Copies of this chain bind each other. A is one copy, B any other.
Amino acid sequence: MDNKLALLTLCGSIIALLFAATRAQKVLRFPEGNDTMVKIAASIRSGAMAYLKRQYRILLIFFAGMFLILTVMAACGFLTWFVPFAFITGGFFSGLSGFVGMNIATRANARTAAACQKGLNRGLKVAFSAGSVMGFTVVGLGLLDISIWYLLLRLVFHLPIEEITSAMLTFGMGASSMALFARVGGGIYTKAADVGADLVGKVEAGIPEDDPRNPAVIADNVGDNVGDVAGMGADLYESYVGSVLSACALGVIAFNKIEAVDRVNAVALPMVLAAVGVLASIIGSMLVKTGENTDQGTLLKALRRGTNTSALLIAVVAFPLVWFIFGKAFIGFYFAIIAGLIAGVLIGFFTEFFTSDSYKPTKGLAEKSQTGPATIVIGGISLGMLSTAVPILIIAVCVMAAYTFSGGFTETTRGLYGIALAAVGMLSTLGITLATDAYGPIADNAGGIAEMSGLEPEVRGRTDALDSLGNTTAATGKGFAIGSAALTALALIASYVEKVQQVGGAGVELNMSVMNPPVLVGIFIGACLPFVFAALTMSSVGRAAQSIVVEVRRQFREIKGLMEGKAEADYEACVDICTKASLHEMVLPTILAIVTPVVVGLLLGYNGVIGMLTGATSTGFLMAVFMSNSGGAWDNAKKYIEGGAYGGKGSEAHKAAVVGDTVGDPFKDTSGPSINILIKLLSMVSIVFAGLIVNFHLF
């Protein structure tokens, strides 16, 4: 039976990829607009592709090096021979998700602008279809990788089930490393270009955003693609795959005391659940359509109809699925899945509550701009810090509920499996939630192209409406990403514990008590990592932005007639600087994430590593929420003022709000989202190096 279930997953993957392909064709059938638009879109595309090519070249070295290390470790007997190859495929598919998503995004931007000339709804159709390509490519490739490896190891190599899940888990490390590079590199790129362009263009030269006279304007648009699209694609590929794989790994352990067939079924459940999620997402995204002339509220309703229907479908179908696989005795797992689904929705709602200017917190923040930049900065930081309380409580309740429903107080491992299932439940509708998230940057780009090619203001108004709608749906998407990261990270810690016992056998002396000094010290060090990581990525953005500032100032000074619109800016130079700077800056933080678990393990042993992972997960979750929400609130407070409040654009209040928004840029688009990946990569690296650490450690 289990092979049939795995084939079902393969089918789900193929359906997702086919759906993505039809959506891509749909997008490409739309016209790209006039010559200027075609030209601008081409520069953005070539800049983005040039970045990705150079990024992949650097990553080739990294992956080759890691492959070598893993091969040596396999030769020494610390790993099975599948691990190095699994590592490579994980990285490859994660990168491919980003590449495909970005490719379509850079083809959809001008088309969205052109479509917006005819109407808002037509624009939505192009942008949302392009977003769907990304969403379904991510889930399709994720399930493809999982099901191919599963079938290969099971049908060709005939490995026992616990070795299969254990080997598969390690391709998560490939995906996570790739994701971290993409998120950090892309995040630095996009914010360096954005901050740099704003600091000189808006603040010093006083020209509007996306003005073609600004030499950094193309780099800014390229940044949206390499950061918000390619980075996000690799990121969510990693989340999706990580949650399924950790659930599979824990499923094997949860049922190792009952008959064998159950164990294989426990592995199948998360995979099949994900496949069902694909179908639910496709049905949901079919429902995203409205009449030709509609306002923003109706559009939002259309998007919500899609995501809600998908979630509801999953909630309905999961019940017979769990019943069919496990029978009545373990129906509690269904409630664990539902707990995850509800937690995702709730975190998404509260993210929106804290960051949207429709609610009190961001309105109150905007008010603080009246007493200057210092008060709005303090206000935003305190808003973000306060907002951590709600998701923490939601996750706390979700963890306790998933654990209890799954019978964790009878059999611990079953409870941990339940927590992992909650994460899978939360991400099961990723196809559509990612689609609603990914279309935002496309609309943003479309706006830039509309501005630069001098289309009627009406068109810009429509792209802005789409963009702002995207901000709202993106908040929901972020909620899912952060919530699932916390749950998956917890599941991965549990997987690590099992891995240690598996490779170490009877010699392992697990003492995970918080009063055991290596654990305690590990918690301290782990808790510190997100702080250090955030600091490194923030200062990278600062340095990279600085070099853009210098270049833009130089061009304004040296290129005569630029400000009068008589000469063209050297866009290439800025694109080039951003590319070099971000690729240079992405290396240190990522290496830190990979080296730290190994060093901590060698010094403090596996108990220390468990402590470190716990500390990093708890503080990382907080930091991710804090930074994303502060940044989001500043952004929307600025937009609220631009909408006319407290004197509107150009007022002192607006200037103060711009300072807040600029502080928030690296918060929400570089450091914050990277931390989600960091906490999982730490666990993944720990799992891969478990064999080494069990044999060599100081304490």
**B residues within 8 A CB of A383?**
535
Contact of A517 with B395 in the complex, beta carbons under 8 Å: no
Are A520 and B490 CB-contacts (below 8 A) given A513-B512, A527-B618?
Answer: yes
Contact of B532 with A388 in the complex, beta carbons under 8 Å: yes
21 CB < 8 A contacts A-B: A199-B371, A203-B372, A373-B377, A374-B658, A377-B659, A377-B663, A382-B539, A382-B542, A383-B535, A384-B535, A385-B534, A385-B535, A386-B535, A388-B531, A389-B528, A396-B525, A493-B515, A494-B515, A512-B512, A523-B614, A615-B618
Q: Which of B199, B515, B610, B619 contacts A618 (CB 8 A)?
A: B619
Contact of A386 with B515 in the complex, beta carbons under 8 Å: no
A412 contacts B by Cβ under 8 Å: yes
Closest approach, in angstroms, between the C-beta of A478 and any C-beta of chain B? 18
A621 contacts B by Cβ under 8 Å: yes
A453 contacts B by Cβ under 8 Å: no
**B residues within 8 A CB of A532?**
385-386, 388-389
A49 contacts B by Cβ under 8 Å: no
Would you list which residues of chain A between 543 and 591 have a CB under 8 Å from chain B?
A: 545-546, 549
**B residues within 8 A CB of A416?**
515
Closest to A517 in B: B403
Would you list which residues of chain A between 602 and 655 have a CB under 8 Å from chain B?
A: 610-611, 614-615, 618-619, 621-622, 626
A641-B525 Cα distance, complex, nearest whole Å: 35
Contact of A663 with B385 in the complex, beta carbons under 8 Å: no
A546-B515 Cα distance, complex, nearest whole Å: 45
Contact of B371 with A546 in the complex, beta carbons under 8 Å: yes
A519 contacts B by Cβ under 8 Å: yes
A359 contacts B by Cβ under 8 Å: no
Contact of B515 with A514 in the complex, beta carbons under 8 Å: no
**B residues within 8 A CB of A662?**
374-375, 378
Interface of A is mostly: helix
Are A531 and B385 CB-contacts (below 8 A) given A371-B546, A392-B525?
Answer: yes
**B residues within 8 A CB of A699?**
400
**B residues within 8 A CB of A90?**
none
Contact of A663 with B626 in the complex, beta carbons under 8 Å: no
A415 contacts B by Cβ under 8 Å: yes
Interface size bracket, A side: 35 or more
Closest approach, in angstroms, between the C-beta of A369 and any C-beta of chain B? 12
Contact of B514 with A514 in the complex, beta carbons under 8 Å: yes
Indicate how many identical chains form the complex.
Answer: 2
A45 contacts B by Cβ under 8 Å: no
Q: Which of A412, A514, A614 has its CB near the most chain B CB atoms (within 10 A)?
A: A514
Closest to A387 in B: B535
Contact of B514 with A614 in the complex, beta carbons under 8 Å: yes
**B residues within 8 A CB of A446?**
none
Closest approach, in angstroms, between the C-beta of A620 and any C-beta of chain B? 10
**B residues within 8 A CB of A524?**
392, 395-396, 399, 618, 621
A541 contacts B by Cβ under 8 Å: yes
Closest approach, in angstroms, between the C-beta of A306 and any C-beta of chain B? 32
Contact indicator per residue, chain A 375-417, by CB within 8 Å of chain B (1) or not (0) = 1011101111110110011011001100100001000100110
**B residues within 8 A CB of A626?**
531
Closest to A511 in B: B513
Are A379 and B542 CB-contacts (below 8 A) given A399-B520, A525-B392, A527-B527?
Answer: yes
Contact of B415 with A542 in the complex, beta carbons under 8 Å: no
A527-B382 Cα distance, complex, nearest whole Å: 16
Contact of A611 with B515 in the complex, beta carbons under 8 Å: no
A173 contacts B by Cβ under 8 Å: no
A44 contacts B by Cβ under 8 Å: no
**B residues within 8 A CB of A546?**
371, 375
A493-B520 Cα distance, complex, nearest whole Å: 11
A254-B553 Cα distance, complex, nearest whole Å: 67
A541-B375 Cα distance, complex, nearest whole Å: 10
Contact of B619 with A527 in the complex, beta carbons under 8 Å: yes
Q: Which of B375, B384, B666 contacts A542 (CB 8 A)?
A: B375
Closest to A402 in B: B517
Closest to A490 in B: B520
**B residues within 8 A CB of A408?**
517
Closest approach, in angstroms, between the C-beta of A135 and any C-beta of chain B? 30
A536 contacts B by Cβ under 8 Å: yes
A610-B516 Cα distance, complex, nearest whole Å: 13
